[in-house]
Amino acid sequence: MPCIKVLPTDLRNKIAAGEVVERPASVVKELIENAIDAGSSEIIIDVRSGGKHLIRVSDNGTGMDKEDALKAFERHATSKLIQETDLFAINTLGFRGEALPAIASVSKIQVHTGSGSAAQGTLIEIRGAEIKNVKDAPPYPGTSIEVKDLFYNTPARKKFLKSTHTELYHIIDTVTRLAIPSPQIAFTLTVDNQDTMNLASASGVRERLVQIFGSDFVAGLTEMQHADSGIAFHAFVSDHQNFRKSKGHQFIFINRRPVREPSIAHAVYKAFEGILPQDRHPIYVILLTIDPHIVDVNVHPTKREVRFAEKETIYRIIIREVRNSVQRGRREFTREFTGPPASDYSEETDHLRHQTFDSGDAASVISENLELPYKHISPSLYIGDTFIAISGKGGLTIIDHHAAHERVLFEKLLKSSTIASMQLLFPKQMRFSAKEYSILLKNRDALSALGIEIDDFGQNTIVVRSVPEEFFNADLESILSDIASGLIDGSVSKTSLKKDLAALVACHRSIRGKEILGTEAISSLISDLENTEHPDQCPHGRPTRIFFTFDDLNRLFKRK
């Protein structure tokens, strides 16, 4: 008896849908891509219950007549490819002709569309890939596709959907990634009848980034452009000191298509080599425009990955441009010690920089950039700008002042049932991306427990009214953005929310490199560290201090 059978059409459609439709955000992506390809200048997205119950995408593009609207839901039906050679020069976001039939096979769909100045439009109702109704309708300037009850006929798929909030974050992220490289299109996202994103047509990518993330966010990025050998490179990248705890603000686009491309990401990190702090990540928005003949976008069912022939050339361009930009930025904020004096230079401050300190003065400084004739007699001194060397207790202790301060703040935040906070005289308004804004408001009580009081101001903006005393002059926007990213990507867990938030907040607010402490502050830090429960590690497990006995030192110097 033969074992191989041809699968029934219904089952084939559901299997095909599994390759394209992973979750509600997949539907949003495919429908928006079709709307962009249709030449729309305005796209409206409406979702309910994280897209599980309803997804509606409406556009003012070219629309379809009745015949095309019916063909669009047949497998491999597309207006974007005519002949085989077109496959090797893709200029559209969609082209396979699989998205609409795949979505229709696992949902209930209603389509309202019209073509040009036609006197009437078309209304089509589909249920589980089966056309239930086709009728004339009022004229419609574009296309509106309504998807209801996703996975209603595939319960095994439906049960693997995440919470409504999680699915919504994926939808917001999808809309964000499609809106960035298409600033000329207006996007509106409504969630459960509330406006979540409202992006007017923008003059360019910079304005679009300001619309989504706010002007303060964009002010911390350096814009760069390069065009050569058929490759146009336009990017916004962290300046030399603007880094985040997560990778939530990293975007790569090739010919307006959001993609994952490890080689490009690696090039950015390579450009920051020697500058990027441990456990920190750069922000980047990279837009590449490449001859479509040398890009293969047909390598992944959801078109998330691409292959291109000039990978090495692109890699070199990104490293060079980003590295040059970072170095220019650093030169703007630093002065060579051998250069001319700064405007605040005085002989007195110069004398203090080079003098030998007595035990009652601030700690001495040893820097790789300074040759200091010194005779050290104080109880502590700086080695470089991060490590403090202390003699005593039968040996030498070297302390990482950032890690030590992090441990002290972490335990203070974690142990306190109420954090002493101060009301800001002028509350600060801060704009975030839609998904960051949503998650911060959802966890308002947890932030309040750490002394951070926020209120909703609307339009993706929150108002910070009070902060812990230790946060005076802190970069609150970066702190809250990292908290939001951690909650979204799971690095901050709901089961240990206070602990994870405390670790993140402590890391942000602890002493940074270049901040040299005086003797009194060092003494206070050491005392506070000794009184913690785990003085030898920061909250992330890195050492706060290393102790060398005299025996260790003798062995290091080959005296034993």
Res 353 pLDDT > 60: no
Res 365 pLDDT > 70: no
Return the closest-CA partner of residue 56 out of 38, 35, 76, 72.
Answer: 35
Query: Lowest-pLDDT range, 204-218, 307-321, 465-479?
Result: 465-479
When mean pLDDT is compared over 189-203, 338-352, 432-446, the highest value belongs to 189-203
Q: What is the CATH number of the domain that holds 120?
A: 3.30.565.10
Per-residue confidence band for 57, with pLDDT thresholds at 50, 70 and 90:
very high
Instruction: Identify whether 488 is part of a domain.
Output: yes
SS (H, E, C) 419-468: CCEEEEEEEEEEECCHHHHHHHHHCHHHHHHCCCEEEEEECCEEEEEEEE
pLDDT at position 205? 97
409 and 304 assigned to the same domain:
no
CA distance 164 to 332: 46
Count Cβ atoms within 10 A of the Cβ of residue 420 and give its class: 0-12 exposed, 13-18 middle, 19 or more buried: exposed
Res 176 pLDDT > 90: yes
When mean pLDDT is compared over 79-83, 256-260, 301-305, the highest value belongs to 256-260
pLDDT at position 109? 96
179 and 140 assigned to the same domain:
yes
Count Cβ atoms within 10 A of the Cβ of residue 304 and give its class: 0-12 exposed, 13-18 middle, 19 or more buried: middle
What is the spatial order of strands in the sheet that 461-468 belongs to? 421-431, 461-468, 453-458
| Tokens standing for residue 520 | 């009194």
CA dihedral sign of residues 497, 475, 517, 371:
positive
518 and 369 assigned to the same domain:
yes
pLDDT at position 367? 39
Instruction: Identify whether 4 is part of a domain.
Output: no
Helix axis angle, 164-179 relative to 24-37, nearest 10°? 20
Instruction: Identify whether 21 is part of a domain.
Output: yes
pLDDT at position 156? 82
Beta pairing partners, 391 = 396
Tokens 């880094």 label which residue?
Answer: 243
Return the closest-CA partner of residue 431 out of 236, 190, 219, 191.
Answer: 219
Scanning 293-427, the segments in alpha helix (DSSP H) are 311-333, 347-354, 401-415
435 and 514 assigned to the same domain:
yes
> Mean pLDDT score of the chain, rounded to an integer?
81
| Tokens standing for residue 389 | 């060397």
Identify the domain boundary among 204, 232, 248. 204
Q: What is the CATH number of the domain that holds 541?
A: 3.30.1370.100
pLDDT at position 333? 46
pLDDT at position 499? 78
Instruction: Identify whether 348 is part of a domain.
Output: no
CA distance 302 to 394: 63
When mean pLDDT is compared over 66-70, 107-111, 277-281, 305-309, the highest value belongs to 107-111
**Amino acid letter, residue 83:** Q
Res 84 pLDDT > 80: no
pLDDT at position 56? 98
Residues 158-168: tens digit of each pLDDT: 888 999 999 99
103 and 158 assigned to the same domain:
yes
pLDDT at position 148? 96
Instruction: Identify whether 346 is part of a domain.
Output: no
Segments forming the whole domain that contains residue 519? 358-560
Tokens 């009070």 label which residue?
Answer: 466
413 or 194, higher pLDDT: 194
Containing 309, the helix (H) or strand (E) segment is none
386 and 454 assigned to the same domain:
yes
Q: 69-97: b or e for each residue (b if 16 or more CB lie within 10 Å)?
A: bbebbebeebbeeeeeeeeeebebbbbbb
Contacts of 62 (CB under 8 A, 6+ apart): 38, 39, 115, 116, 142
307 or 95, higher pLDDT: 307
| Tokens standing for residue 244 | 């985040």
Per-residue confidence band for 99, with pLDDT thresholds at 50, 70 and 90:
confident
Res 360 pLDDT > 70: no
Instruction: Identify whether 1 is part of a domain.
Output: no
311 and 383 assigned to the same domain:
no
146 and 262 assigned to the same domain:
no
CA distance 437 to 459: 9
378 and 489 assigned to the same domain:
yes
Instruction: Identify whether 3 is part of a domain.
Output: no
286 and 399 assigned to the same domain:
no
CA distance 399 to 380: 10
Tokens 């897209």 label which residue?
Answer: 51
Identify the domain boundary among 204, 230, 264. 204
Per-residue confidence band for 520, with pLDDT thresholds at 50, 70 and 90:
confident
Rounded mean pLDDT of 195-203?
A: 95
193 and 243 assigned to the same domain:
no
Q: What is the CATH number of the domain that holds 264?
A: 3.30.230.10
382 and 518 assigned to the same domain:
yes
Residues 369-412: tens digit of each pLDDT: 434 333 333 467 777 767 888 887 678 888 988 888 888 888 88
Res 157 pLDDT > 60: yes
Containing 54, the helix (H) or strand (E) segment is strand 54-59
pLDDT at position 352? 37
Domain count, the chain: 3
Between the alpha carbon of residue 538 and those of residues 404, 407, 507, 508, 544, the distances in Å are 6, 5, 9, 13, 6
Identify the domain boundary among 149, 175, 204. 204
Query: Lowest-pLDDT range, 148-162, 317-331, 341-355, 412-426?
Result: 341-355
CA distance 463 to 426: 10
Instruction: Identify whether 345 is part of a domain.
Output: no
Residues 265-315: tens digit of each pLDDT: 999 999 988 788 777 899 999 999 988 887 777 666 666 777 777 788 888
